[in-house]
Amino acid sequence: MRPTVTRLDRASLHGSLHDPVLGSIGFLNEVMQRHPGTISFAPGAPHPDLLPDTGLQRYVDRFVDHLVDDRGLTPERARRLLREYGPSRGLINELVAEALARDYGIAAGPGAVVITVGAQEAMLLVLRTLFGSPDDLLAVANPCFVGITGAARLLDIDVVGVRETADGIDPDCLAGLCAAARGAGRRVRACYVAPDFSNPGGGRMSLACRQELLRLAEREDFLVLEDNAYGFTAPSGCELPMLKSLDSTGRVVHIGTFAKIAFPGARVGYVVADQTVTGPCGGTRLLADELAVVKGMVTVNTSPLSQAVVAGMLLDHGGSLIALSRDKSRLYRRNLECLIAALDRHLTGAAPGVRWNRPDGGFFVRLRLPVPVTTGLLERCATEYGVLWTPMAPFYTDASGDHELRLSCSYLSPDQIETGVRRLARFLRTEVRP
Amino acid sequence: MRPTVTRLDRASLHGSLHDPVLGSIGFLNEVMQRHPGTISFAPGAPHPDLLPDTGLQRYVDRFVDHLVDDRGLTPERARRLLREYGPSRGLINELVAEALARDYGIAAGPGAVVITVGAQEAMLLVLRTLFGSPDDLLAVANPCFVGITGAARLLDIDVVGVRETADGIDPDCLAGLCAAARGAGRRVRACYVAPDFSNPGGGRMSLACRQELLRLAEREDFLVLEDNAYGFTAPSGCELPMLKSLDSTGRVVHIGTFAKIAFPGARVGYVVADQTVTGPCGGTRLLADELAVVKGMVTVNTSPLSQAVVAGMLLDHGGSLIALSRDKSRLYRRNLECLIAALDRHLTGAAPGVRWNRPDGGFFVRLRLPVPVTTGLLERCATEYGVLWTPMAPFYTDASGDHELRLSCSYLSPDQIETGVRRLARFLRTEVRP
CA pair distance B360, B362, nearest whole angstrom:
7
Nearest-10 Cα torsion for A144, A327, A420, A372: 10
Q: Which residues of A touch B3 (CB under 8 A)?
A: 248-249
A413 interface with B at CB cutoff 8 Å: no
Start and end residues for every CATH 3.40.640.10 domain found in chain B: 56-323
CA pair distance B317, A222, nearest whole angstrom:
54
Start and end residues for every CATH 3.90.1150.10 domain found in chain A: 10-50+324-431
Q: Which residues of A touch B293 (CB under 8 A)?
A: 17, 22-23, 25-26
Q: Is there a contact between A56 and B274 if contact means CB atoms under 8 Å apart?
A: no
Q: Is there a contact between B10 and A265 if contact means CB atoms under 8 Å apart?
A: no
B275 interface with A at CB cutoff 8 Å: yes
Nearest-Cα distance to chain B for A209, in Å, is 21
Taking chain A, what is the end-to-end CA distance rounded to the nearest angstrom?
Answer: 55
- Number of A/B CB contacts below 8 angstroms equals 280
Nearest-Cα distance to chain A for B299, in Å, is 5
Rounded to 5 degrees, what angle do the CA atoms A166, A199, A47 make?
Answer: 130
B391-422 pLDDT, tens digit each: 999 899 998 899 999 999 998 999 999 999 99
Q: Which residues of A touch B19 (CB under 8 A)?
A: none
DSSP state of B242: -
DSSP state of B235: P
A45 interface with B at CB cutoff 8 Å: yes
Pairing between β-strand B223-227 and β-strand A404-408 as defined by DSSP bridges: unpaired
Could you tell me which residues come within 8 angstroms of residue B386 by beta carbon, excluding any fewer than 6 positions away? B35, B37, B38, B39, B423
Q: Is there a contact between A303 and B150 if contact means CB atoms under 8 Å apart?
A: no
Q: Is there a contact between A278 and B25 if contact means CB atoms under 8 Å apart?
A: no
pLDDT < 70: residue spans in chain B: 1-4, 20-29, 50-54
What is chain A's mean pLDDT, rounded? 91
Flag whether pLDDT at A3 surpasses 60. Answer: no
Q: Would you say B232 and B100 are in contact if contact means Cβ atoms under 8 Å apart?
A: no
Could you tell me which residues come within 8 angstroms of residue B7 by beta carbon, excluding any fewer than 6 positions away? A275, A276, A277, A278
Q: Is there a contact between B22 and A132 if contact means CB atoms under 8 Å apart?
A: no
Amino acid letter, A112: A
A32-65 pLDDT, tens digit each: 777 777 899 988 777 777 666 567 888 999 999 9
Pairing between β-strand A168-169 and β-strand A404-408 as defined by DSSP bridges: unpaired
- Cis peptide leading into B143, omega within 30 of 0? yes
Q: Is there a contact between A124 and B301 if contact means CB atoms under 8 Å apart?
A: no
In sequence order, what DSSP letters do the residues of B144-179 get, joined into one string?
--HHHHHHHHHTT-EEEEEEEETTEE-HHHHHHHHH
Q: Residue A406, SS3?
A: strand
Paired with A137 in beta bridges are A158, A188
Q: Looking at per-residue confidence, does B173 or A375 come out higher?
A: B173
CA pair distance A256, A100, nearest whole angstrom:
10
Nearest-Cα distance to chain B for A130, in Å, is 5
Task: Residue count of chain A, please give it.
Answer: 434
Tell me which residue in A9, A22, A117 faces B297 most closely, judged by beta carbons: A22
Tell me which residue in A4, A46, A60 faces B56 most closely, judged by beta carbons: A60
Please state at what angle helix B414-431 crosses helix B321-347, rounded to 10 degrees. 40
From the number of C-beta atoms within 10 Å of its C-beta (0-12, 13-18, 19+), residue B73 rates as: middle
Start and end residues for every CATH 3.40.640.10 domain found in chain A: 56-321
CA pair distance B391, B412, nearest whole angstrom:
19
Q: Is there a contact between B150 and A296 if contact means CB atoms under 8 Å apart?
A: yes
- H/E stretch holding B252: strand B252-257
Q: Residue A15, SS3?
A: helix
Count of Cβ atoms closer than 10 Å to residue A36 Cβ: 7
Q: Which residues of A touch B101 (CB under 8 A)?
A: none
- H/E stretch holding B57: helix B56-69
CATH architecture of the domain formed by B56-323: 3-Layer(aba) Sandwich (3.40)
Q: Looking at per-residue confidence, does A166 or A83 come out higher?
A: A166
In sequence order, what DSSP letters do the residues of A315-335 get, joined into one string?
HHTTT-HHHHHHHHHHHHHHH
Q: Residue A229, SS3?
A: coil
Mean pLDDT over residues A104-121, rounded?
96
Tell me which residue in B4, B11, B82 faces A265 most closely, judged by beta carbons: B82
Mean pLDDT over residues A402-412, rounded?
93
| pLDDT band of A84, cuts 50, 70, 90 | confident
The predicted pLDDT at position B349 comes to 82
Q: Which residues of B touch A76 (CB under 8 A)?
A: none
Tell me which residue in B25, B248, B296 faces A22 most closely, judged by beta carbons: B296
A interface test, pick of B1, B6, B85, B144 with most A CB neighbours within 10 Å = B6
Q: Is there a contact between B294 and A9 if contact means CB atoms under 8 Å apart?
A: no
In sequence order, what DSSP letters do the residues of B78-101 get, joined into one string?
HHHHTTS---TT-S-HHHHHHHHH
A128 interface with B at CB cutoff 8 Å: yes
Q: Would you say B314 and B139 are in contact if contact means Cβ atoms under 8 Å apart?
A: no
Amino acid letter, B415: D
B33 interface with A at CB cutoff 8 Å: no
Q: Would you say B89 and B114 are in contact if contact means Cβ atoms under 8 Å apart?
A: yes
Nearest-Cα distance to chain B for A348, in Å, is 35
The predicted pLDDT at position A54 comes to 61
Tell me which residue in B13, B266, B279 faces A290 most closely, judged by beta carbons: B13
Q: Is there a contact between A6 and B251 if contact means CB atoms under 8 Å apart?
A: yes
Mean pLDDT over residues A410-434, rounded?
92
Nearest-Cα distance to chain A for B391, in Å, is 18
Amino acid letter, A253: V
Could you tell me which residues come within 8 angstroms of residue B364 by beta carbon, excluding any fewer than 6 positions away? B44, B197, B199, B200, B201, B202, B406, B407, B408, B409
Tell me which residue in B82, B276, B297 faces A7 most closely, judged by beta carbons: B276
Distances (CA, A) of A131 to A174, A244, B251, B389, B419: 18, 21, 34, 34, 47
CA pair distance A307, A63, nearest whole angstrom:
9
Q: Which residues of B touch A250 (CB under 8 A)?
A: 2, 4-6
> Which residues 280-319 of chain B have a CB within 8 Å of chain A?
280, 287, 290, 293-294, 296-306, 309
CA pair distance B421, B343, nearest whole angstrom:
6
Q: Is there a contact between B56 and A52 if contact means CB atoms under 8 Å apart?
A: no
Count of Cβ atoms closer than 10 Å to residue B182 Cβ: 12
- H/E stretch holding A366: strand A364-368
Which residue in chain B has the smallest CA separation from A297?
B151
Q: Which residues of B touch A243 (CB under 8 A)?
A: none
Nearest-Cα distance to chain B for A434, in Å, is 33
CATH classification for the domain delimited by A56-321, as one of 3.40.640.10, 3.40.50.970, 3.30.450.30, 3.90.800.10: 3.40.640.10
CA pair distance A270, A97, nearest whole angstrom:
10
From the number of C-beta atoms within 10 Å of its C-beta (0-12, 13-18, 19+), residue A399 rates as: exposed
Start and end residues for every CATH 3.90.1150.10 domain found in chain B: 14-50+325-431
Closest among A202, A299, A284, A206 to A250, alpha carbons compared: A284
Q: Residue B270, SS3?
A: strand
Closest among B397, B406, B366 to B143, alpha carbons compared: B397
Burial letters B357-382, b for 16+ CB under 10 A, else e: bebbbbbbbbbebeeebeeebbeebb
Q: Which homologous superfamily is A10-50+324-431 in?
A: Aspartate Aminotransferase, domain 1 (3.90.1150.10)
CA pair distance B227, B119, nearest whole angstrom:
8
CA pair distance A375, A371, nearest whole angstrom:
12
> Which residues 68-97 of chain B have a CB within 8 Å of chain A?
79-80, 82-87
Closest among A267, A182, A270, A260 to A226, alpha carbons compared: A270
Q: Which residues of B touch A22 (CB under 8 A)?
A: 293-294, 296-297
A334-362 pLDDT, tens digit each: 999 999 999 999 999 877 899 999 999 99
Q: Is there a contact between A301 and B267 if contact means CB atoms under 8 Å apart?
A: yes
The predicted pLDDT at position A174 comes to 98
- Cis peptide leading into A200, omega within 30 of 0? yes
Q: Is there a contact between B266 and A303 if contact means CB atoms under 8 Å apart?
A: yes
Distances (CA, A) of A17 to A9, A155, B12, B117, B287: 12, 12, 28, 21, 11
Closest among B123, B217, B119 to B162, alpha carbons compared: B217
Tell me which residue in B7, B13, B129 faces A130 most closely, judged by beta carbons: B13
Q: Is there a contact between A275 and B82 if contact means CB atoms under 8 Å apart?
A: no
The predicted pLDDT at position A127 comes to 98
Q: Is there a contact between A22 and B287 if contact means CB atoms under 8 Å apart?
A: no
Tell me which residue in B7, B15, B120 faces A299 most closely, judged by beta carbons: B120
A121 interface with B at CB cutoff 8 Å: yes
A109 interface with B at CB cutoff 8 Å: no
The predicted pLDDT at position A51 comes to 64
A277 interface with B at CB cutoff 8 Å: yes
Q: Which residues of B touch A82 (CB under 8 A)?
A: 265
Nearest-Cα distance to chain A for B431, in Å, is 30
B323 interface with A at CB cutoff 8 Å: no
Closest among B73, B95, B114, B36 to B316, alpha carbons compared: B95
Tabulate helix, strand, coil % of chain A (nearest 5). Answer: 45, 15, 35
The predicted pLDDT at position A2 comes to 45
ipTM for the assembly: 0.95
CATH class of B14-50+325-431: alpha beta
Which residue in chain A has the smallest CA separation from B187?
A12
A237 backbone φψ class: left, alpha, beta (φ>0; ψ -120 to 50) = left
Paired with A165 in beta bridges are A168
Question: How many whole angstroms from its chain centre is CA B351?
Answer: 31
